[in-house]
């Protein structure tokens, strides 16, 4: 019997950035990512996009719902030799990126811009431009981790539409919606997760994805994009999309 997708508000999203319970839950996320193997999944997927790196300017990468930027930093360490110049925008509706985090990226040659914004407003704004210039808002790559599953219906469609209109590549790593992930989410306490994370982990699995659900929702003309939707590790579900011909 397959699980129906249920999207509900997560507790972390209703807490202020400086709420101790929110701080605890964001620290828990690091353990959750270790248990899910997210960094390895991301690193492997992003390595495959190496061919499309521009040689005359930095690679422009946007992470939606980036949180404090810690997950991507681990990936940046692995990618930096192949991706030495990156302009990375970390977008989240809460201001969570510390100066220390920005400096850690800078040591790798990655220039980080924090964008505090609601991703739905970002998606709806047709006039969005790069934070540090007047160039049109196009990204070589947009990334989302544990983020898309917050959305459904017209909101999810709006996000995917905007992503396809503004990028040449997209990678999402989300919770896999199946019984194994659900069982795993109920065991989040075993890795030391607090109450907020224990509850959100279960909600996230119910809101997660499976099979070709994201491919079905992908709004662009399919032969303009190479799309690979797959299960990764024990608990993750990924979508990797690359524009085949450059616009």
Ligand X SMILES: C[S@@+](CC[C@H](N)C(=O)[O-])C[C@H]1O[C@@H](n2cnc3c(N)ncnc32)[C@H](O)[C@@H]1O
Classified as helix, coil or strand, 66 is: coil
Q: Does 175 bind ligand X (CB under 6 A)?
A: no
Q: Does 161 bind ligand X (CB under 6 A)?
A: no
Our CA dihedral for 44, 46, 47, 50, rounded to 10 degrees, sits at: 160
Q: Is 207 exposed, middle or buried (0-12, 13-18, 19+ CB in 10 A)?
A: buried
Phi-psi group of 25: left, alpha or beta (phi > 0 → left; psi -120 to 50 → alpha; rest → beta): alpha
- Mark residues 194-223: x for contact with ligand X by CB under 6 A, - for none: ------------------------------
Residue closer to ligand X, measured from CB, 2 or 67: 67
- In the numeric block, the tokens 């299960």 are attached to 231
Q: Which residues pair with 171 in a beta bridge?
A: 143, 240
Q: Does 52 bind ligand X (CB under 6 A)?
A: no
User: What's the token pair of residue 101?
Assistant: 């985090």
Classified as helix, coil or strand, 167 is: strand
User: What's the token pair of residue 105?
Assistant: 């990226």
The Cα 92–Cα 71 span in angstroms is: 14
Residue closer to ligand X, measured from CB, 29 or 241: 29
Residue closer to ligand X, measured from CB, 119 or 202: 119
Residue closer to ligand X, measured from CB, 153 or 247: 153
Residue closer to ligand X, measured from CB, 28 or 247: 28
CA distances from 68 to 43, 73, 145 (A): 18, 10, 12
Q: Does 171 bind ligand X (CB under 6 A)?
A: no
Q: Does 19 bind ligand X (CB under 6 A)?
A: no
Minimum distance, C-beta of residue 175 to ligand X, in the bound complex (Å)? 9
- Mark residues 61-80: x for contact with ligand X by CB under 6 A, - for none: ----xxx---x---------
**Residue 206: CA atoms inside 13 Å, Cβ hemisphere, count?**
11
Residue closer to ligand X, measured from CB, 169 or 208: 208
Q: Is 136 exposed, middle or buried (0-12, 13-18, 19+ CB in 10 A)?
A: exposed
Query: Of 54-62, 105-113, 143-151, 179-187, which segment contacts ligand X by CB under 6 A?
Result: 143-151
Residues 69-128 that bind ligand X (CB under 6 A): 71, 92-94, 118-120
Minimum distance, C-beta of residue 126 to ligand X, in the bound complex (Å)? 18
Residue closer to ligand X, measured from CB, 72 or 226: 72
The residue from 15, 22, 28, 29 that contacts ligand X (CB under 6 A) is: 29
The Cα 16–Cα 38 span in angstroms is: 25
The Cα 157–Cα 17 span in angstroms is: 27
Minimum distance, C-beta of residue 224 to ligand X, in the bound complex (Å)? 27
What is the binding site for ligand X (CB under 6 A)? 13, 29, 65-67, 71, 92-94, 118-120, 145-147, 150
């Amino acid at each position: 019997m397959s699980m129906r997708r249920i999207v509900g508000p997560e507790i972390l999203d209703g807490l202020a950035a400086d709420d101790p319970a929110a701080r605890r839950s964001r620290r828990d996320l690091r353990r959750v990512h270790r248990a899910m193997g997210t960094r390895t999944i991301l690193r492997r997927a992003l390595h495959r996009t190496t061919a499309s790196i521009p040689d005359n300017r930095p690679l422009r990468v946007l992470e939606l719902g980036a949180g404090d930027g810690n997950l991507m930093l681990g990936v940046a360490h692995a990618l930096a030799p192949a991706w030495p110049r990156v302009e990375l925008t970390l977008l989240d509706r809460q201001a969570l990126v510390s100066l220390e985090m920005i400096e850690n990226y800078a040591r790798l040659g990655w220039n980080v811009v924090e964008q505090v914004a609601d991703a739905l407003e970002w998606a709806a704004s047709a006039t969005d431009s790069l934070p540090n210039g007047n160039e049109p808002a196009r990204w070589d790559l947009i990334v989302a981790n544990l983020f898309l599953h917050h959305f459904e219906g017209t909101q999810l469609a709006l996000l995917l539409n905007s992503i396809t209109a503004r990028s040449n590549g997209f990678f999402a790593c989300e919770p896999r919606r199946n019984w194994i992930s659900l069982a795993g989410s109920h065991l989040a306490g075993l890795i030391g997760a607090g109450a907020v994370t224990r509850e959100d982990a279960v909600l996230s699995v119910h809101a997660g994805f499976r099979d070709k659900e994201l491919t079905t929702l992908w709004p662009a003309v399919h032969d303009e994009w190479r799309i690979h939707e797959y299960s990764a590790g024990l608990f993750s579900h990924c979508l990797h999309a690359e524009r085949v011909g450059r616009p």
